[in-house]
Amino acid sequence: MTGQSTPAPGWYADPQGTPNTLRWWDGTQWTQHTQQGQPAPPQQPQQPQYPAAAGQPDPRQQGRLQRQVAQQAGVAPVAGGGGTLFTEPILVVNQKAKLIELTNEYGVFDQNGNSLGSVVQVGQSAVKKAARFLTSLDQFMTHKLEIRDAHGQPQLVLTRPAKLMKSRVIVARPDGQQVGEIVQQNVIGKIDFAITVNGQQVGAIKAENWRAWNFAIVDHTNNEIARITKTWEGLAKTMFTTADNYVLQIHQRLADPLLSLVVATALTVDTALKQDARGFG
């Protein structure tokens, strides 16, 4: 792949092999948008290296993600995993870097760099986008994100209602059935969240320092069952973009609803806390 650049954003032949179908490549990944027609001409005279489709990850991206897990997060490889958002012991959550962030977008991968799904902010009106661009009022507004599988199908919906100080995130199924809530407990010192189901606390998310970069996730007996580690992407990216990247390590097999709530935590801490209170992170 030496000497070959990533193709520019455009409509290309669907990597899934659908006849006469084009899929939009946004410059970093395939999207869910398709249309009928002929593909755009190659960016260069030589055949471009198109990004990998589902099940065929880009080796360069795989290498970056594997280094993120092993070197930046310090997480050793874990055997097993079923290849889905809810069966992998390690989830890598990387926010799409943007100089101006009007909506939150994330990719979710396994420890080997294979794509497991995505997280997309939904329900952003033009007024809310303008508020996000022009003011800091966005932090007080309602936010909603969908956790989608590798095929783009929603699996969980996270809703953070409008707030003043403490955040509360409601985790639900796509049909509206509530799974539980993740509720911020304090605003000063080490930030903690309670994980609740039907009003009963079943676990907690505990920041390890006042800057709230890394979190331990514990069950109702205070036994650590998972851990969130923020990974350092370099000074330039951290200063000039709003991207936040995390590794979620699940230490043991969990049953629902706790499993779904733990999977949601890597997105919750970013939406509930880090996007709203830059001073904490």
pLDDT for residue 250: 95
Torsion of CA 176, 103, 214, 232, to 10 degrees: 150
pLDDT for residue 61: 77
pLDDT for residue 271: 65
What does the block give as tokens for 192?
């903690």
Instruction: Return the closest-CA partner of residue 205 out of 192, 214, 196.
Output: 192
Residue where the block lists tokens 């230490």? 251
pLDDT for residue 167: 82
> Parallel, antiparallel, or unpaired for β 143-149 and 154-160?
antiparallel
- CA–CA gap between residue 79 and residue 122 (Å, rounded): 34
pLDDT for residue 201: 97
Decide: 28 and 115 in contact? Cβ < 8 Å: no
> Which burial class, exposed, middle or buried, applies to 270 when counting CB atoms under 10 A from its CB (0-12, 13-18, 19+)?
buried
Task: Tell me if the bond preceding 41 is cis, omega within 30° of 0.
Answer: no
Consecutive 10-residue averages of pLDDT for the chain (281 residues) = 56 73 77 70 44 56 84 84 92 67 72 90 59 45 86 92 81 96 88 93 88 85 94 42 72 94 82 47 35
What does the block give as tokens for 110?
């396994």
What are the residues whose beta carbons fall under 8 Å from the beta carbon of 83, sequence distance 6 or more?
110, 114, 116
Phi, psi of 138 (to 5 degrees): -55, -30
Instruction: Return the closest-CA partner of residue 201 out of 267, 257, 163.
Output: 257
* Total-model pTM: 0.68
pLDDT for residue 48: 42
- CA–CA gap between residue 57 and residue 67 (Å, rounded): 15
pLDDT for residue 20: 74
pLDDT for residue 211: 64
Tabulate helix, strand, coil % of the chain (nearest 5).
Answer: 20, 35, 50
pLDDT above 70: percentage of residues in the chain: 68
Q: Which domains does the chain have, with CATH numbers?
A: 1-51 (no CATH), 59-280 (2.40.160.200)
User: Over the stretch 61-72, which tens digit does the pLDDT of each residue have?
Assistant: 788 888 888 888
